[in-house]
Amino acid sequence: MGSVLAWAGLLAVLMAGPAGAIERLRDQPVASGRAFTVVHRDGKIVIDLADLSRLPQYRLLTDSPWERGRQEFEGVLFRDVLALVQLSDAEAVIIHALDNYSQRIPRKDWVDYPTLLALRADGAFLTRRSQGPTRLVYPVLDHPELDNPVHRNRWVWLIKTVQRAD
């Protein structure tokens, strides 16, 4: 009997998938307020948190280079956001933060990986105090190759603007 329970437990762990795997969510709460501004050659578009809340939502458990321990982030895939704002064909985008930090994010990052634009951390909406309302998060637990100084610097929070880099 003990070995049957052990096998059943092992099977349950294997079927659950990797600990950090990205997971699609259903029926998530909708936030309101300004998320960030998209700068196009012909003008600016303000993206609201409600706009982002209408996109498919995901949960990502990952190690963060900036906090201790594992963090649970919820939000939208960065590639979906870029499709929404008509930047998915860009070779790179530049993200500017409210604190004047900026990073160039190459296309490879959103095409090859489930990079997340987080709206929530550990179940709570991100605020300015918690580095929000949006934050770019990399799945380093599932993709250890992203745990390096270059990609750590691409974790941008307090996002103010997104624009085409090329």
Please state the domain extents for the chain: 19-164
Higher pLDDT, 77 or 125: 77
Higher local confidence (pLDDT), 156 or 125: 156
Give residue 118's pLDDT. Answer: 95
pLDDT at 9 over 50: no
Give the tokens for residue 15: 């079927």
d(CA 11, CA 113): 27
For position 103, what pLDDT does the model report? 98
CA dist 127 and 133 (Å) reads 5
pLDDT digits (tens, 9 = 90+) for 120-135: 998 888 888 888 899 9
pTM: 0.83
Confidence band (pLDDT; 50, 70, 90) for 60? very high
Radius of gyration of the chain (CA): 17
pLDDT class of 20 with cuts at 50, 70, 90: low
pLDDT at 141 over 70: yes
Q: For residue 27, what pLDDT is reported?
A: 66
Among 44-48, 61-65, 118-122, the minimum mean pLDDT is found in 61-65
46 CB-side CA count, 13 A: 5
**For the chain, what is the mean pLDDT?**
85
Residue 63: Cβ-neighbour burial (10 angstroms; 0-12, 13-18, 19+): middle
Determine the pLDDT at residue 28: 64
Do residues 65 and 140 touch, judged by C-beta distance below 8 A?
Answer: yes
What whole-number distance in Å separates Cα of residue 46 and Cα of residue 28?
22
The CATH-assigned architecture of domain 19-164 is Alpha-Beta Complex (3.90)
C-alpha torsion angle, residues 123, 139, 76, 82 (rounded to 10):
150
Residue 31 pLDDT > 80, yes or no?
no
Residue 12, pLDDT score: 37
- 35 Cβ contact partners less than 8 Å away, ≥ 6 residues apart: 47, 48, 49, 51, 52, 133, 134, 159
Q: Confidence band (pLDDT; 50, 70, 90) for 11?
A: very low
**Long-range contacts, stretch 119-124, CB < 8 angstroms, 24+ apart:** 119/31, 119/49, 119/52, 119/53, 119/74, 119/75, 119/76, 120/73, 120/74, 120/75, 121/71, 121/72, 121/73, 121/74, 122/71, 122/72, 123/72, 123/74
Polymer length of the chain: 166
